[in-house]
Amino acid sequence: MMPPRLRIVDSHTLGEPTRVVLDEALAASIELPVGSVRARREAFRQRHDDLRRALVGDPRGTDAMVGVILLPPADPSCALGAIFVNRVGYLDMCGHATIGLAVTLGAVGRIAPGPFRLETPAGVVAVTWHGGAEASFESVPPRRTHRGLELACADGTTATGDVATAGLWFFLTSDHGLPIVPEAVASLTARAWAIRRALEARGITGSGGEPIDHVVLLGPPREEGHDGRSFVLCPDGSFDRSPCGTATSALVACLHEDGKLAAGHVWRQESVLGGVYEASVRRAGDMLVPSVRGRAWISAVGELCFDPDDPYRRGIPR
């Protein structure tokens, strides 16, 4: 059942929008089985996908927006559970939205500065709100399944890069021949789409058959003191306004494995718009643990309205 109203807080993490639902009416309007956040996410997908569309799709959402639906965690070490949704589906993890969530919870007085653990469909993520607009997270363990993979694209170009994950699946490449600047967004988008279609044509997926639905085009930084710059194509065809926290996690893990980034050294990654994440990686036994720190700002506090007479109260299907 669609609730008539939902209280939400919108934020943006270096330009990338997040919408957090802070309303007990949502939990009261849905029924989910007992189990992990991942299992309950699947039940939500099957039973309540119209709520996803209503929250972040047209006409109430915007390009690149990620919604966060809070749940009680199944893992007793966690303070919260979170489902991440976008205009076309569901995300196992979202770095910018995790930063936005931490800043939002701090702004409304639900958490104090300091660490907490968040259960996501990808696994448990360690999050810290540093106060104000600053937050950071430690990703789930990263993995690289392809190194130096060469793709032949339908537009006649080729691209060589790596397939890696840190909660989402990415193809990361510096082999694209384009400047990472706002003026080139249309060309960057077309290039990244060609790469994604080439991955699909080859049947290349994540290790569990997941689609590689984020393409990361890498380039040199434009500001002194920074280390790299990226354009990231999102699953809905929009581009990430931030450097993409989960992609940056996968990137620093690959750099460390390639001997290009020492443990504990800070890597400053720019987005196509110029926003910067500070990232690093540490070792915990045999496991790599990437960390990303960024800033988010509250952009709106209010209610979404779902009038019974509104033909698009459940969003517009895509």
With beta carbons less than 8 A apart as the criterion, state whether 304 and 261 touch.
no
Annotated catalytic residue, options 78, 94, 234, 254: 94
pLDDT confidence bin for 63, thresholds 50/70/90: confident
Q: What is the pLDDT of residues 50-60, one digit of tens each?
A: 999 999 999 99
pLDDT greater than 80 at residue 318 = no
In the chain, helix, strand, coil percent, each to 5?
A: 25, 40, 40
Annotated catalytic residue, options 78, 153, 234, 244: 244
Structure-block tokens of residue 175:
């082999």
Q: How many CB atoms lie within 10 A of CB 1?
A: 9
254 in active site: no
Strand pairing category for 169-173 and 214-219? parallel
78 in active site: no
281/199 Cα distance (integer angstroms): 28
Q: What is the pLDDT of residues 276-314, one digit of tens each?
A: 999 999 999 999 999 999 999 999 999 999 999 999 999
pLDDT greater than 90 at residue 25 = no
Topology of the domain comprising 143-292: Diaminopimelate Epimerase; Chain A, domain 1 (3.10.310)
What residue spans in the chain does CATH classification 3.10.310.10 cover? Answer: 5-139+298-305, 143-292
pLDDT confidence bin for 2, thresholds 50/70/90: confident
pLDDT greater than 80 at residue 29 = no
Q: What is the pLDDT of residues 196-234, one digit of tens each?
A: 999 999 999 999 999 999 999 999 999 999 999 999 999
- Among 74, 100, 83, residue whose Cα is nearest residue 49: 83
> pTM for the full model?
0.97
Query: Mean pLDDT across the stretch 67-76?
Result: 96
Does the domain at residues 5-139+298-305 carry the CATH identifier 3.10.310.10?
yes
Which SS3 state, helix, strand or coil, does residue 191 take?
helix
pLDDT, residue 26, reads 83
